[in-house]
Structure 1
Amino acid sequence: MGDPRRQKKKFVVPKRPFDTDRFEQELQLIGSFGLRNKRELWRHSTDLSNFRRQARNLLALPPSERQHSEKELVNKLARIGVLEQPVLDQVLDLTLENVLERRLQTIVYRKGMAASLHHARQLVTHGHIALDSARVTTPARLMTVGEADRLAYASKSSLNDQSHPARIAASYAATKVVEPVDDYDERSRGGRDDRRGGRRDDRRDTRRDAPAKPAPKVKDDNVEPVSNEEVDPIGDEKLE
């Protein structure tokens, strides 16, 4: 039988483990495309880097030597819908968003078959999506242009019913108006006092500006009250 093949990583981790700019960009892409973790993002990033490296190596060759390999690479990227025109120079202009748009999960959501990107991932993994009557359960699969048009609900899926709550939610999500992002970001950055309308600050300022109350007088039973009349320290007679 021989020894089993060694499993190798399908992605390359970033060289700088702690980079604030990269963290923000990765989190934005993960939220925008409903990815599960950063490994999925790194896998597609590695694929994009391989496409670019092949294009750079081919551009360094004479046109006569690169003709066959150039045609294979360009046709492959055009078939999955990444390239609009079969030109080798456009491969260097590709971004990670172009690759993520061709995921099965993203296409299911773009076609209005799911209420959100996370809902689309759930439908794919649970076997509700079919390609040519065959179930596909890989959300990260890169779909070709022809395959994207042949996607449908599985034959035994309960989502074939038009009155299914998930179908109603998907149709509503496709037509609803999205709230502006700037307004959402402004509210999300506000603290606890901003959400309460600043009432806490108002109460604090009112207490600070209010006049101080006089200290209450404490009555001591052991101290006898002193009269306003002057008393002779020697005798009990009053001074005239």
Structure 2
Amino acid sequence: MGDPKKHRKKYETPRHPWNKARIEEEKELIKEFGLANKKEIYKMNSLLRSFFLQAKQLITKTGEQAEKERAQLLGRLQRSGLLSSEAGLPEVLGISLKDLLERRLQTMVYKKMLANSVKQARQFITHKHIMINEKIITAPSYLVSLNEELVISFIAGSALSNPDHPERAAVQKKNEAENVELPEKKSKKKEDKKVEKKEGKKTEKKDKKPKKEEKVKESDAKGDAKNKKSESKPDPKKSE
């Protein structure tokens, strides 16, 4: 039967385990994308690093084989929605980890409003409620292509395929509430700005009034000083 296959890790862990900035960034990614653990981040990082290495090697290479590999790499990234159709190898180096995480099936299910949260999207996938092109996918980290993005749906036998299901209704209510809140927030912001402008004008008027009073006081003081000077000067007629 042959030698048994040796299983190797498909990812690389960080070289320095206690980097504070990296740890905080990983925590934010886990919350934002509903990841189970940091291993999922390391897997995506390793995949991204492999794209970078391929692009760097192919930039310098020439020949038919290099052109084929170039076309294969760019085609794969364009089909997966990570690059535009006009992008080249230098643009491959501009792909970020977030761009890759956004192409996961878990985030796609949440974006298509099939789940109430990212964690609920993960639950639906692992419980075999989601299919792509009539094929059940149970891996939340499955990278969805542009063509597959249009065909994500619930399986026919799932209770969640009914739009009146309580979980589906909760998602619709949440979206409706968000749409209603947006114009209200805008109107509140406008009202607050108007109030701030009015208050600013009032304060300016208050500031102007004391200035007028100060001018009057200054003129009175000057008049008093002139009178004192005139009184202090001796009259020439009296001295004679």
Q: Fold-level match, TM-score > 0.5? A: yes
Amino acid at match of 1:67: E
CA–CA separation in structure 2 for the residues paired with 1:16 and 1:148: 37
CA–CA separation in structure 1 for the residues paired with 2:62 and 2:123: 48
Shift of 1:162: 1.8
1:174 matched to which residue of 2? 175
1:50-78 C-alpha deviation (Å, 9 max, x unpaired): 00010011112237663211111000001
Indicate the larger mover: 166-175 or 123-132.
Answer: 166-175
CA–CA separation in structure 1 for the residues paired with 2:133 and 2:176: 27
4+ aligned runs moved over 6 Å, structure 1: none
SS of the residue corresponding to residue 93 of structure 2 reads helix
State whether structure 2 residue 107 is matched by structure 1 residue 106.
yes
Amino acid at match of 2:137: V
CA–CA separation in structure 1 for the residues paired with 2:75 and 2:84: 11
CA contact (8 A) 1:133 1:155 kept: no
1:198 matched to which residue of 2? none
The structure-2 alpha-carbon separation of the partners of 1:115 and 1:54, relative to structure 1 and needing over 3 Å to count, comes to same
CA–CA separation in structure 2 for the residues paired with 1:96 and 1:49: 10
1:62 matched to which residue of 2? 62
CA–CA separation in structure 2 for the residues paired with 1:175 and 1:24: 33
CA–CA separation in structure 2 for the residues paired with 1:30 and 1:9: 21
CA–CA separation in structure 2 for the residues paired with 1:57 and 1:82: 19
2:233 matched to which residue of 1? none
CA–CA separation in structure 1 for the residues paired with 2:13 and 2:103: 22
SS of the residue corresponding to residue 152 of structure 1 reads strand
State whether structure 2 residue 155 is matched by structure 1 residue 127.
no
Amino acid at match of 2:117: S
Measured on the aligned residues, the alpha-carbon RMSD in Å equals 1.9
CA–CA separation in structure 2 for the residues paired with 1:176 and 1:138: 31
CA–CA separation in structure 2 for the residues paired with 1:80 and 1:175: 31
CA–CA separation in structure 2 for the residues paired with 1:34 and 1:173: 19
1:142 matched to which residue of 2? 143
Structure-2-length-normalised TM-score: 0.71
CA–CA separation in structure 2 for the residues paired with 1:61 and 1:41: 31
Shift of 1:176: 3.8
CA–CA separation in structure 1 for the residues paired with 2:63 and 2:32: 39
The structure-2 alpha-carbon separation of the partners of 1:175 and 1:46, relative to structure 1 and needing over 3 Å to count, comes to farther
CA–CA separation in structure 1 for the residues paired with 2:6 and 2:65: 34
1:201 matched to which residue of 2? none
SS of the residue corresponding to residue 15 of structure 1 reads coil
1:50 matched to which residue of 2? 50
* % identity of equivalent residues: 35
SS of the residue corresponding to residue 93 of structure 1 reads coil
2:90 matched to which residue of 1? 89
CA–CA separation in structure 1 for the residues paired with 2:5 and 2:65: 34
Shift of 1:157: 0.3
Gaps of 5+ in 2: 182-240
CA–CA separation in structure 1 for the residues paired with 2:59 and 2:174: 44
The structure-2 alpha-carbon separation of the partners of 1:64 and 1:136, relative to structure 1 and needing over 3 Å to count, comes to closer
Indicate the larger mover: 64-73 or 36-45.
Answer: 64-73
Shift of 1:38: 0.2
2:24 matched to which residue of 1? 24
CA–CA separation in structure 1 for the residues paired with 2:24 and 2:95: 20
CA–CA separation in structure 2 for the residues paired with 1:10 and 1:103: 17
CA–CA separation in structure 1 for the residues paired with 2:133 and 2:62: 42
CA–CA separation in structure 1 for the residues paired with 2:116 and 2:123: 11
CA–CA separation in structure 1 for the residues paired with 2:178 and 2:136: 32
Higher helix share: 2
Shift of 1:133: 2.1
Amino acid at match of 2:138: T
